[in-house]
Structure 1
């Protein structure tokens, strides 16, 4: 949800306007990705120390030169705005459940900024809890964070798991085209990623899947700095060379 909030705040005049923009984005997302059982809305809550240090640096920069009409500093656990946003999403869910027949059998789960953990981590934990009872579900995680791919690879027992990095779906396609701002959506299937790994490394895809997670972590994230002098592409090229050498010997 935090990525959506930042998008909403960039053009919002005040809290109320930001909430309306969030509603618009949620409606557009649920029109594109029609849920049949569950919708999980997870906000970033207080993070571990490593993430808090990163956030503090970002907040300091933002306070000096904010690029938002409504300051991005409001999107911080513990602020009145985040409390209001959680309540607004609860109202949104209740209204859709009552007013729309297509949500008749859909359950909404909302985790506010008062609950510790990043939104992406909360969703992965929710998936793991779901898998205790069933593993034949089709799940789509919506977000633009590259870490979602890493976390998706770590979920082993779901075949139909997708990461959706959507465009600004609240705009009509014709308006985006007219402005020359075409931004196609990206849907990444974790199953197809594993199949691609199997083609590259026959019979080793599950082990390579775990190695790939490590390579992505080496590229840096909110908790660990990037390994200097490298990129994921260079790490993966070196990895393939090492695998080839091991295969020869």
Structure 2
């Protein structure tokens, strides 16, 4: 669910907990886990109220490129786990319902503001971020495309071969981060588990900080885009992934 403003709170008080990733000196990780909903929202719409329209093919292409970039940055040696949010517990469903009504209202307000500014609007309706919900047609289509993408990468990319590739789709109940933690707990319970396994989890929700601590794993890292606070917070984010810094 995330913890509002928690990441900013700890980043401003203990700035050394977040360090920029240096691709030339990055340590080797055994397992890489992706909280896919962070990628889905990043690649399908902006958070500044800008009205834009991307086709499904463009959105899927952006998602696949982002996955490639994260994989090539970490290069896991054993397991690559991709988790999409499934049906959430009832408490979060109530929160999501209120948030999605608010999102719909904000979308109408942004559209009216764009019309008032005289912006050129696309003929097709803009992408509705509420489509990133378990059980929607968009999510079903995304899952099928992800399966095709994974099969293609395993067939053509040697880095994707000889490791475990796991996709937990929207049809599997539970939030992405909790499905990831459940997988880690199950692996720890297996005989012969290596206690020095290095885990790297990508996700933007601050609750991953708590989940990482309670995993009691000695080698556990969180990966996320570089975030600015204060005067730099509103600076434009580059769409060139090669210029995107991670911490």
- TM range, normalised to the smaller chain? 0.5 to 0.7
Instruction: Quote the residue 2:154 is aligned against.
Output: 97
TM-score (norm 2): 0.67
The within-5 A match list for 1:115-126 is: 115-126=172-183
Instruction: Quote the residue 2:37 is aligned against.
Output: 2
Structure 1 stretches of 4+ with a deviation exceeding 3 A read 167-170
Instruction: Quote the residue 2:117 is aligned against.
Output: none
- Per-residue Cα deviation, 1:28-64 (whole angstroms, up to 9, x for no partner): 1111111111111100111111100110011101112
Find the aligned partners of 2:164 and 2:78 in 1 and give their Cα distance. Answer: 6
Find the aligned partners of 2:239 and 2:180 in 1 and give their Cα distance. Answer: 23
Out of 167, 189, 203, the position equivalent to 1:132 is 189
Instruction: Quote the residue 1:42 is aligned against.
Output: 83
- Per-residue Cα deviation, 1:179-238 (whole angstroms, up to 9, x for no partner): xxxx6422xxxxxxxxxxxxxxxxxxxxxxxxxxxxxxxxxxxxxxxxxxxxxxxxxxxx
Instruction: Quote the residue 1:213 is aligned against.
Output: none
Unaligned runs of 5+ in 2: 1-35, 46-51, 111-124, 227-236
Distance verdict in 2 for CA 1:81–1:172, change over 3 Å: closer
- Per-residue Cα deviation, 1:12-42 (whole angstroms, up to 9, x for no partner): 5122221111001001111111111111110
Instruction: Quote the residue 1:171 is aligned against.
Output: 240
Matched position secondary structure for 2:173: coil
Out of 90, 97, 106, the position equivalent to 1:56 is 97
Matched position secondary structure for 1:110: strand
Find the aligned partners of 1:21 and 1:64 in 2 and give their Cα distance. Answer: 27
- 1:75 pairs with 2:151: no
Find the aligned partners of 1:15 and 1:184 in 2 and give their Cα distance. Answer: 27
Instruction: Quote the residue 1:32 is aligned against.
Output: 73
Higher-Rg structure is 1
Q: Count how many residue pairs are aligned between Structure 1 and Structure 2.
A: 177
Instruction: Give the C-alpha shift of residue 130 in structure 1.
Output: 1.1
Name whichever structure is richer in helix by fraction.
1
TM-score (norm 1): 0.66
Q: CA-atom RMSD, angstroms?
A: 2.0
Unaligned runs of 5+ in 1: 177-182, 187-249
Find the aligned partners of 2:225 and 2:142 in 1 and give their Cα distance. Answer: 21
